[in-house]
């Protein structure tokens, strides 16, 4: 059995086969739904459950760890990948109470149709004794729902942070082995769901400053036994001023005009020492694009014109950027049209949350001509100047 400390067990489930979350987010490495069992000298607590599709494995793990009784089911977050098995847990352990904050309780009553008398409500900072082990609840809201909270196990100095600091990956090791790989997965996860709430995350990180944390045990991915790895990364990701000399060039092309412009432009950036990654929106892993969105200084969207407006794939990209609200400093639009276009206005209209300087767009009528290539050179030059001015190169 996977043990974090004396009588502290990981009893969750690795979901190796899952490839999509929320029918939206790609999961190239699957995911895990971590749940933890803490046996105190007097009481036993289960911290979170698993996705309802995997309840059977959770039950199996609880039997194997000898969880004859559970007094408390701590619910950090009402989303069903962690709460979905609570109804089955309450059937298996009918004396157990669900311990959570008032917001989460209300959401669990809505999502799982639990009854009021099945809960114990706790407040921020409140403690719950299991005998020789003490749980302290720390409200860490908006990672990524308003009710999210964490639990601090005082005696063993373990922070159970639920989605906060998590990473979508199934893996056989309890603790982080390959730090670079975990950081990339955690960055992808942060970008996909937490980035829009980074001002709240700033407050949550501040709340954790006084804790001498030995390990961070999230609800997805491996446990961090070197907590500064992920805490320092989060500090960088939420810092509005920390952007990289990097351009996201996301494009779609129908008859090669926009593709030719994109390829020329990417070369023009490279010639000037600007980092760039080209994403063909037809088939791109959106999660890869989101990883770059976390700290790229500049985003450029390339689109042809379809029925006067942008290609729907470009609109999808703009909608994604808009909802994720990255700290991107500059925005460019390039593309093509046949006889007329409102493409630029419509893309900019989709990006109302982005606080970025918008460069003069570069549009070609049909295939790009000398003038279009010269304007692309000028745009690349402008971006290089802006990146230099930010001290990025």
Which span sits near ligand FEO by CB under 6 A: 76-84, 177-185, 280-288, 330-338?
76-84
Number of shown-chain residues binding ligand FEO (CB under 6 A): 8
Q: Provide, rounded to whole angstroms, the least separation between the CB of residue 50 and ligand FEO.
A: 10
Q: Provide, rounded to whole angstroms, the least separation between the CB of residue 220 and ligand FEO.
A: 6
33 contacts 219 by C-beta, under 8 angstroms = yes
29 or 163: whose CB is closer to ligand FEO? 163
Q: Which of 10, 29, 71, 163 binds ligand FEO (CB under 6 A)?
A: 163
16 or 373: whose CB is closer to ligand FEO? 16
Q: Which of 15, 29, 48, 81 binds ligand FEO (CB under 6 A)?
A: 81
Q: Provide, rounded to whole angstroms, the least separation between the CB of residue 286 and ligand FEO.
A: 18
Q: Provide, rounded to whole angstroms, the least separation between the CB of residue 251 and ligand FEO.
A: 31
Q: Provide, rounded to whole angstroms, the least separation between the CB of residue 76 and ligand FEO.
A: 9
Residue nearest to ligand FEO (CB): 79
Q: Provide, rounded to whole angstroms, the least separation between the CB of residue 92 and ligand FEO.
A: 22
Q: Provide, rounded to whole angstroms, the least separation between the CB of residue 245 and ligand FEO.
A: 32
Q: Which of 54, 77, 133, 330 binds ligand FEO (CB under 6 A)?
A: 77
Which span sits near ligand FEO by CB under 6 A: 8-16, 55-63, 73-81, 328-336?
73-81
Which span sits near ligand FEO by CB under 6 A: 75-83, 280-288, 338-346, 357-365?
75-83
18 or 246: whose CB is closer to ligand FEO? 18
Q: Residues 211 to 270: which contact ligand FEO by CB under 6 A?
A: 219-220
14 or 280: whose CB is closer to ligand FEO? 14
Q: Which of 39, 54, 82, 330 binds ligand FEO (CB under 6 A)?
A: 82
Which span sits near ligand FEO by CB under 6 A: 78-86, 110-118, 235-243, 312-320?
78-86
Question: Over the chain, what HEC string results?
Answer: CEEEECCEEECCEEECCCCEECCCEECCCCEEECCEEEECCCCEEEECCCCHHHHHHHHHHHHHCCCCCCCEEECCCCCHHHHCCHHHHHHHCCCCEEEECHHHHHHHHHHHCCCHHHEEECCCCCEEECCCCEEEEEECCCCCCCCCEEEEECCCCEEEEECCCCCCCCCCCCECCCHHHHHHHHHHHHHHHHHHHHHHHHHHHHHHCCCCCCEEEECCCCEECCCHHHHHHHHHHHCCCCCEEEEEEEECCCCCHHHHHHHHHHHHHHHCCCEEEEEECCCCCHHHHHHHHCCEEEEEEEECEECCEECHHHHHHHHHHHHHCCCCCEEEEEEEECCCCCHHHHHHHHCCCCCCEECCCEEEECCCCHHHHHHHHHHHHHHHHHHHHCCCC
Q: Is residue 79 at the binding interface for ligand FEO, with CB under 6 A as the rule?
A: yes
Q: Which two tokens stand for residue 300?
A: 């450029």
Q: Which two tokens stand for residue 303?
A: 């689109």
Q: Provide, rounded to whole angstroms, the least separation between the CB of residue 142 and ligand FEO.
A: 11
The neighbour count for residue 68, using CB atoms within 10 Å, is 10
d(CA 290, CA 179): 19
Q: Provide, rounded to whole angstroms, the least separation between the CB of residue 31 and ligand FEO.
A: 8
Residues that bind ligand FEO (CB under 6 A): 77, 79, 81-82, 144, 163, 219-220
């Amino acid at each position: 059995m996977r043990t974090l400390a004396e009588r502290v067990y990981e009893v969750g489930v690795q979901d190796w086969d899952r490839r999509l979350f929320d029918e939206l987010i790609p999961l190239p490495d699957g995911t895990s739904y971590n749940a933890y069992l803490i046996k105190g000298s007097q009481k036993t607590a289960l911290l979170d459950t698993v996705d309802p599709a995997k309840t059977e494995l959770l039950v199996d793990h609880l039997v194997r760890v000898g969880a004859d009784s559970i007094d408390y089911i701590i619910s950090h977050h009402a989303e069903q990948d962690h709460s979905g098995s609570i109804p089955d847990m309450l059937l298996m352990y009918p004396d157990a109470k669900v311990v959570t904050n008032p917001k989460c309780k209300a959401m669990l009553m809505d999502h799982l149709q639990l009854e009021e008398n099945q809960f114990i409500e706790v407040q921020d900072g409140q403690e719950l004794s299991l005998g020789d082990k003490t749980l302290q609840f720390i409200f860490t809201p908006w990672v990524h729902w308003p009710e999210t909270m964490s639990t601090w196990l005082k005696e063993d100095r373990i922070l159970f942070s639920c989605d906060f600091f998590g990473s979508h990956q199934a893996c056989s090791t309890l603790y982080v082995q390959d730090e670079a790989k975990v950081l990339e997965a955690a960055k992808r996860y942060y970008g996909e769901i937490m980035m829009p709430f980074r001002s709240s995350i700033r407050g949550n990180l501040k709340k954790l400053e006084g804790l001498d944390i030995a390990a961070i045990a999230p609800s997805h991915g491996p446990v961090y036994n070197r907590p500064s790895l992920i805490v320092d990364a989060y500090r960088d990701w939420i810092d509005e001023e920390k952007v990289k000399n990097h351009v996201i060039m996301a494009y779609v092309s129908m008859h090669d005009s926009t593709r030719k412009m994109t390829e020329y432009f990417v070369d023009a950036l490279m010639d000037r020492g600007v980092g760039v990654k080209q994403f063909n929106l037809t088939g791109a892993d959106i999660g890869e694009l989101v990883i770059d969105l976390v700290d790229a200084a500049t985003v450029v969207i390339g689109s042809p014109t379809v029925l006067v407006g942008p290609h729907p794939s470009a609109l999808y990209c703009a909608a994604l950027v808009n909802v994720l609200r990255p700290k991107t400093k500059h925005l460019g639009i390039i593309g093509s049209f046949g006889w007329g276009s409102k493409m630029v206005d419509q893309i900019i209209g989709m990006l109302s949350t982005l606080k970025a300087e918008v460069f003069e767009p570069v549009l070609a009528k049909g295939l790009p001509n000398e003038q279009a290539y010269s304007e692309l050179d000028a745009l690349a030059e402008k971006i290089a100047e802006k990146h230099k001015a930010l001290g990025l190169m």
